[in-house]
Every structure is written in C-alpha cells, then in structure tokens.
C-alpha cells in the first residue's frame, strides 16, 4: 500500500436483504351487491375477521401470509434493536439470514462465488507450512499470463482494469443537461486524448517546438544562443511555468513540525532514471544506460536535431545527470524524518546554495497567486548537503559556454521528457526501448485505457464523482467504518501488550491510535455539483487540444499548490482520487484514506463472509493504521507533528526490534537478488502489524457470531480462510526486469514476501495450519514489532 509512500455505520459483514413477496388474492364478494363489504363484515371483531380470513385461504396462500408476517415482525425487531443499540448492528449483518445448505455450508451467491475463486487460485499440492504464497496462489500462477504491455500483473491490476471499463463507459456518454461542468470537462479531456480527429498526429512536434522557442531554445535542435542564457531565467520558466523538476524539487506542504501550517519545502531531485544505481553501477546497468541514450537521441532527432551531434550532446546530459546521482542520497538512507528536517530562512538557504537567487525564484512563483516571500521567511530543506554539492557542480559547468550548453540541454531535456507523452505516436514510441530494458515489456495499453488513466490524473475528482455514482455501494462506507473501528481496537491491544515499550510511551501511542482520522470512499464535496465545479472552475479544457490541455493542467496544479501557503491546513484534502485501487497513511495529518476503488472484491464486499473481509480489506486497514507506528510514522505525534514523544530507551528497543525485520527481509532472495530490508522497512512493519491487528479483530468478532463454512473447501476452517484470502490478494506475476526494478526502487517488498514474511512471523498462523517448529513458515526465531 501507499504510505504517505501506499486511506477510509453499518454492518460491514453483510447486508440483510428482504425479498418482498407479492400475494395476489381475490376478496370475498360482497353480500350487498354494491361492491362493498357487508355490514356484518364491517362490524366484525378484527381478530375474528382475521381468523376467518385466514381460514378461507388455500394452503399456498396461508404459507405466504405466514412468511410475510414473519418478515414484518423480524424487521420490527431489528429496527427496535438497532435504534436501541446501533453499534451492535456492526456485529450482525447478513449472517442472521445466511442461507445454510443441507450439509451446513453457506450457500449464498457471494459464498459460492468466493469458494470457486479461492479453489481456482490455490495449489493444494503445496505444503502451506513451507511456502504459503505458493499454496494460496499456485493455481493462479499456473493459469495466468501477463497481458501484453504489462510488466506486473495481479489482483490490483485486475480491479484497476475493471474500474477503467466503468470509467470508459461513463466518459463516453454524451454530456447531460444536468451534469456538472467539471464532469463535462473530464469527458472533453478524454475525447481530446482519444483524438478522434487525428489532431495530435497532424500537429506532430509543433506544440513542443513552440515551447522550446519560448524557453530560449535548445542547443540539441540547433536554436540556442548561449550568450543570452541565464540559469535563473531558465528555471523561472521551466520549473515554475512548466512544472519541470530539474536540479531540485520543491513544493508547499504541511510543515512536519507544525502540521497546522503550510511551508515551502525544498529537496533533492532531477534524475530521469528511477534510481541512482542506474547511473553509478555502469557495468550492471550498461544496457539501461544505452537504451536511455537511444531514447534521448530519438526524441532529439524528432525535434530537429542531427543524429551524431544529438548523440554527443545527450551523452553529455547523461554525464551531467550522473554527477547529480553521485550527490543524491539513496532512498534507504532517508528514512529518519527528524534528521532530514532543516528549517532555515530564505537568506540562510541563499548562503547554503547560492547557485540561484532563491528570493527572486520564490517570488516569481508566488506572484501567480499575489503572494510575496520575505528574506526572513522560513523554508524547510530536506537535503542541505545535496544543495551545497549541487552548487559546486553548477559553478564548475557555468565557467564555460560548453558547460552552460550542457546545463541548458539538461534542463530542457527534463521538460521535454515530461511532455513528450502528450505528442504524436512517434514520440510515445521512442520510449519503447527504454521501457523494455527497465520493465521487460515494450507493449502499450489500449489507447482508451491510457486515456482513462490520464483523465483520472488530471480531473480525478470529477471522474471520481461519476465513478462513485455508477459503482460504489453506499453501504460500503459505513460497513468499512465499522470494520476499521474493530481493527483499531485490536491494534491498541497489541500496542498495550508489546514488552519493549515503557508504559508512558504506550499511553501516548494508544492516544495517537485513537486520534487517527479516516476518510473512506470519496470526499463528500464531489457529489455536490456546485462544489465540484468550483474546484475545476479555473481549469480550461478544449476539444482537439490535448497538448495544451495538459499544459493548462500543469499550471492549474501549480496555482493550487501555491495558494496553500499562509492558509490554514485543510485536513479534508485527499491525495488519491476515488477510483484509485490503493490506500495510504498521511503522518502530518495522522490520517488514513481508503478510496472507493479498493473497496470491492476480493478485498471487500458487504455480502462477503467475514473471514474474507478481514483477511482482505481488514489487513489493508491494519496495514495503514500500523504505518502510524512504523520507523517513520512513529516520529509524528497524534497531532501530526514531528516530535520526540517517545522515551529514549523505548526508541532504542524499537530499533532493536526493527533490526530483526531489516535483517530478515534482506535475507530474502528473488531472481538471485537480495531484497533491501532497510528500504522496505516501513512497509514490512505495516504488513506484519496489519495482519496481526486484523486477525485478532476477526477473532473478537467470532466470539459473538457464527458463520457457515464455504462449500467445496473441505476441512478449511474460517481462520484458514482468513489467511488464504489475505495471501490471494497478493497473487501476482512480473517480468524479471520488473522484479529487479522493484527491488532497487520500491519501498514495498515483492508480493511473495508480503505474504510469507508476515505469516512466518505470526505464531497464530502456525497454530492454524499446524506448522511444525522449524518449517519455513514457522521458524524458531520470529521478528515482531507490533
């Protein structure tokens, strides 16, 4: 899951569905001949009348009448029960009326469908105590082929494609009389991406060439005067107007140490390839570097460059990026937010890194929103050493015209790389070779899938409004909320039991757990057209202007970002759009978010057996909750402030616990490559803690509820079913190249180890599957943090 890196009252276990039976009957004919009841019937005692009426019915009618009365009484009792104690409904749900088969199995449509899917996905010939992932996912692996154009394929991918089909159908519907203007913009953007009039191909390189003229030219394409070039001016245009992140990155976000205010944050940045290792490990990554050069040359020649000259200049850009890679701190070394945080005045930043005038730079940006930055205003700097070293590199290259050419070529290349995908097919095809060596595939999504994803990235909340109305079960939000509360209680019990934490810090941690807020499904405002329209009011979208639509979107997002400064922090803002199949924890808001896109099968369904909901979505919820107490999240207090709120002795004991996790995961191998346990530490802590929190919450639920087993699964217990569904959520296949890239860059472990790692550390799993001590899934030594 995403960690902010991977967010969310009615019974989530299932819904009570009443089928209304319509009983057709003919009333007794009137003795009065006028169509009315006789006076005798009118004056009859009501009970007597009812008795007489019942006796006059045939057998079928009597049975149906009894059923109607029974259902009516049941509804009345449930209403009284819920009104008197609504929280108790959270532990009821459809299990009250679940259909029980002749052999004592759950025979609802949801149960039968789930059982069939589970059986097809498993490989029961594998010993679950030796490789639980293969036991749960072996059937899936045998029958699944990675689709063309995909380097990774799994449950998340399947759900995402399902969501894309829903969105495609919506976006292709004509604009309605009552649709919001924001939704109309989303449909128009989608059409501009699909390009029915072939405008993108007709324009070719023209839209980007026009921008190159505006930014002062590009020596690669032969139109650049070095004597007129200034780094300051170039950054003003390229970074501020066109959103390029060359040399460094910056944003306006919550101040880590005062999360009630927004602050300007400056960090390292500026590499095109995914990791520093791609530049520095030249022997290992020679193929990647060659493919990167070929990609750059292809783009350069499409923009008018001569091939030999372009090759030489692009190699110089790679060499420049390699120098930046040399001063860039690897991700695994940047996990301590307290050490990264440096607050300084603009004047101090100027002394630290004088390669540009920072005050002028920020004021150039903030004049877009009529704000001014003062010399004594505070800036948060996350990479002071990087900026110091960057100054030395810039100074070295700025001494000669050739060096200035290289800097400009690099900066303009950063912009071109980010915008080339909005141009004609030739530009998009240029990336295929690099994609092949990085991910193992060079195919592409169908154009409509690409355009659906692109529309979601630009107008995601307008798309989200349509998606929610079409797809989202309104009951899901309340059901998910109830499950989340149960898992939060379980996590707090786990915190209370950890032996390495002092009592004072435990109390503070439990207080933080209580303070975690959640957002589930979607932000409420998107279903109010006037508010949704207001959000996108300043974003202009035109038909047949795909490239310009994206330029306007970049500038729209920049204005939204800049406007936050000096405003109170809005804790209701989402960082993921509703159709997203993911979830996240935001440490500065102490908040978890679960978009509507993930609240569906196999993670979650209101009609699912509880074991499946807890094993799927429950573990996701536990994962995000645990992020509040991983190696990074634990540094933030319950208000979302970076704060030294743990006892020092407890901090040291925590680090001892986490070292076990680091060492354990670093010993795991995939394709003969060791995982990076340090880089994946936060996600591994969350995976282990989330599994435990959800399992214990499920055990508490089972104390008061009964659930029929699923058909066809033999002697598989409900607890076994919990673990199997947890594992099957992670069934996936990937290319060797994608595996290598994930190990090098991703803060998450590969899917196999997101399953086998947590279950091998969890004694309850070994108990459920009777795994002998010393088996792969029940080692003598286990790692545990929460």
Q: What is the per-residue pLDDT for 61?
A: 46
Quote the CA–CA distance of 596 and 471 in Å, as a whole number: 9
CA-based nearest residue to 690, from 754, 607, 748, 733: 754
Q: What is the pLDDT of residue 649?
A: 94
Do 385 and 515 belong together in one domain?
no
Q: Kindly list the distances between the CA atom of residue 641 and the CA atoms of 587, 690, 784, in Å, as whole numbers in the listed order.
A: 8, 23, 26
Give the mean pLDDT of 577-593: 95
pLDDT classification of 715: cutoffs 50, 70, 90: confident
Residue 68 has pLDDT above 90, yes or no: no
Please state, rounded to an integer, the average pLDDT across all residues of the chain.
86
Question: Given 256, 624, 635, 707, which residue is catalytic?
Answer: 624
Whether residue 601 is found in the same domain as residue 704: yes
The total of structural domains in the chain comes to 3
Query: Do the beta carbons of residue 497 and residue 570 sit within 8 Å?
Result: no
pLDDT in tens, 436-445: 999 998 877 8
Domain of 746, CATH number, reads 3.40.390.10
Q: What is the pLDDT of residues 13-23, one digit of tens each?
A: 222 222 222 22
Structural domain of 136 = 1-8+110-155+476-522+585-786
Residues 624-633: tens digit of each pLDDT: 999 999 999 9
Candidates 378, 383, 387; CA nearest to 255 is: 378
Q: Do 72 and 117 reside in the same domain of the chain?
A: no
Q: Identify the active-site residue in 256, 605, 687, 744.
A: 687
pTM: 0.84
**What is residue 9's DSSP assignment?**
-
Phi (first) and psi of residue 637, to 5 degrees: -80, -175
Residue at 665 is within a domain: yes
Is the per-residue pLDDT at 320 higher than 60? Answer: yes
Query: What is the C-alpha separation between 298 and 687, in angstroms, rounded?
Result: 42
- Do 399 and 516 sit in the same domain of this protein? no
CA distance 606 to 728: 19
The answer to whether 136 touches 746, Cβ cutoff 8 Å, is no
* 624 tagged catalytic: yes
Res 706: pLDDT: 81
CA separation for the pair 285, 271 (Å, rounded): 15
Whether residue 273 is found in the same domain as residue 308: yes
Query: Is residue 546 assigned to a domain?
Result: no
Residue 598 lies in a domain: yes
Question: CATH code at 403?
Answer: 1.10.1380.10
Q: Is 204's pLDDT higher than 90?
A: yes
Pairing of strands 258-268, 217-218: unpaired
- Are 369 and 422 within one domain? yes
Whether residue 74 is found in the same domain as residue 121: no
Identify whether 610 is part of a domain.
yes
Higher-pLDDT residue of 570, 45: 570
Task: Please choose, from the candidates 547, 536, 486, the residue with its C-alpha nearest in 3D space to the C-alpha of residue 181.
Answer: 536
> Which single residue is written with the structure tokens 């009592």?
503
Mean pLDDT of 753-758: 97
Give residue 101's pLDDT.
52
In a domain, 366, yes or no: yes
CB 410 within 8 A of CB 246: yes
Q: Are residues 703 and 771 in the same domain?
A: yes
Q: Are residues 505 and 367 in the same domain?
A: no
In contact, 744 and 737? CB cutoff 8 Å:
no
- As a residue count, the chain comes to 786
Tokens of 515: 């303070």
Residues 470 and 597: their CA atoms lie apart, in Å, by 12
Mean pLDDT value across residues 317-328: 97
* Range list of H helices, 328-459: 337-340, 346-352, 358-366, 384-397, 401-419, 425-429, 432-439, 447-458
747 & 768 share domain? yes
Q: Same domain, yes or no, for 236 and 119?
A: no
pLDDT above 50: residue 423: yes
629 lies in a domain?
yes
Confidence band (pLDDT; 50, 70, 90) for 178?
low
| Residues 83 and 116 both lie in one domain | no
Query: Would residue 148 show up in a list of annotated catalytic residues for this protein?
Result: no
Tokens of 547: 């490239």
pLDDT at 352 over 80: yes
Per-residue model confidence (pLDDT) at position 79: 43
If you average pLDDT over residues 688-697, what whole number do you get? 97
Residue 463 lies inside a defined structural domain of this protein: no
């Amino acid at each position: 899951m995403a960690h902010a890196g991977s967010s969310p009252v009615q019974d989530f276990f299932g819904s009570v569905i009443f089928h209304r039976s319509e009983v057709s009957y003919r009333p007794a004919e009137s003795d009065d001949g006028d169509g009315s009841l006789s006076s005798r019937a009118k004056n009859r005692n009501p009970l007597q009348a009812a008795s007489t009426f019942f006796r006059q019915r045939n057998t079928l009618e009597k049975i149906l009448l009894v059923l109607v009365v029974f259902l009516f009484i049941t509804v009345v009792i449930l209403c009284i029960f819920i009104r008197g104690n609504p929280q108790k409904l959270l532990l009821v749900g459809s299990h009250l009326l679940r259909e029980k088969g002749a052999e004592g199995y759950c025979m609802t449509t949801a149960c039968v469908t789930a059982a069939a899917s589970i059986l097809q996905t498993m490989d029961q010939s594998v010993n679950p105590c030796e490789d639980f992932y293969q036991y749960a996912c072996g059937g899936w692996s045998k029958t699944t082929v990675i689709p063309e154009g995909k380097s990774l394929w799994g449950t998340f991918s399947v759900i995402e494609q399902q969501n894309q089909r829903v969105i495609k159908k919506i976006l292709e519907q004509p604009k309605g009389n009552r649709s919001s203007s924001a939704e109309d913009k989303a449909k128009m953007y989608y059409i501009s991406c699909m390009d029915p009039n072939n405008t993108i191909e007709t324009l070719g390189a023209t839209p980007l060439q026009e921008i190159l003229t505006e930014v002062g030219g590009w020596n690669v394409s032969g139109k650049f005067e070095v004597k007129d070039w200034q780094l300051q001016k170039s950054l003003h245009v390229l970074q501020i107007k066109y959103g390029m992140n060359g040399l460094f990155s910056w944003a306006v976000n919550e101040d880590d140490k005062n999360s009630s205010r927004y602050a300007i944050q400056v960090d390292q940045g500026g590499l095109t390839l995914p990791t520093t290792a791609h530049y520095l490990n030249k022997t290992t990554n020679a193929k990647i570097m060659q493919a990167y050069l070929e990609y750059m040359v292809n783009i350069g020649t499409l923009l008018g460059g001569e091939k030999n000259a372009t090759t030489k200049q692009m190699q110089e850009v790679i060499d420049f990026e390699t120098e930046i890679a040399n001063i860039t701190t690897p991700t695994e070394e940047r996990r301590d937010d307290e050490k990264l945080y440096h607050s300084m005045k603009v004047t101090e930043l100027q002394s630290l890194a004088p390669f540009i005038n920072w005050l002028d730079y920020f004021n150039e940006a903030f004049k877009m929103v009529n704000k001014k930055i003062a010399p004594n205003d505070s800036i948060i700097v996350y990479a002071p050493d990087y900026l110091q070293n960057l100054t030395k590199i810039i100074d070295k290259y700025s001494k000669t015209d050739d060096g200035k050419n290289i800097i400009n070529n690099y900066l303009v290349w950063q912009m071109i790389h980010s915008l080339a995908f909005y141009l004609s097919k030739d530009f998009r095809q240029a990336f295929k070779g690099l994609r092949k060596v990085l991910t193992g595939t060079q195919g592409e999504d169908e154009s409509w899938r690409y355009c659906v994803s692109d529309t979601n990235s630009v107008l995601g909340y307008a798309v989200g409004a349509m998606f929610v109305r079409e797809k989202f079960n309104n009951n899901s939000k309340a059901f998910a909320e109830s499950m989340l509360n149960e898992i939060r209680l379980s996590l707090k019990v786990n915190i209370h039991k950890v032996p390495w934490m002092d009592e004072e810090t435990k109390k503070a941690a439990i207080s933080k757990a209580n303070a975690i807020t959640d957002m589930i499904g979607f932000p409420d405002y998107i279903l109010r057209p006037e508010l949704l329209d207001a959000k996108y009011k300043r974003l202009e979208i035109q038909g047949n202007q795909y490239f310009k639509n994206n330029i306007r979107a970049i500038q729209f997002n920049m204005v939204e970002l800049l406007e936050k400064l000096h405003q109170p922090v809005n804790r209701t803002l989402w960082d993921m759009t509703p159709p997203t199949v993911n979830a996240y924890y935001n440490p500065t808001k102490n908040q978890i978010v679960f978009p509507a896109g993930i609240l569906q099968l196999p993670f979650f369904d209101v009609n699912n057996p509880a074991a499946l909901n807890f094993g799927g979505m429950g573990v996701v919820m536990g994962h995000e909750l645990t992020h509040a107490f991983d190696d990074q999240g634990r540094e933030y207090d319950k208000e979302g402030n970076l704060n030294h709120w743990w006892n020092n002795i407890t901090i040291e004991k925590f680090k001892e616990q986490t070292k076990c996790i680091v060492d354990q995961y670093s010993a795991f191998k995939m394709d003969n490559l060791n995982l990076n346990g340090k880089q994946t530490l936060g996600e591994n802590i969350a995976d282990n803690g989330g599994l435990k929190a959800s399992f214990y919450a499920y055990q508490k639920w089972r104390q008061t509820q009964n659930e029929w087993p699923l058909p066809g699964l033999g002697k598989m217990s409900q607890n076994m079913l919990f673990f199997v569904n947890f594992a099957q959520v992670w069934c996936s296949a990937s290319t060797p190249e994608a595996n290598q890239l994930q190990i090098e860059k991703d803060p998450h472990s590969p899917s196999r180890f997101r399953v086998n790692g947590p279950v091998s550390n969890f004694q309850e799993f070994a108990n459920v599957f009777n795994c002998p001590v010393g088996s792969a899934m029940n080692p003598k030594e286990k790692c545990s943090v929460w």
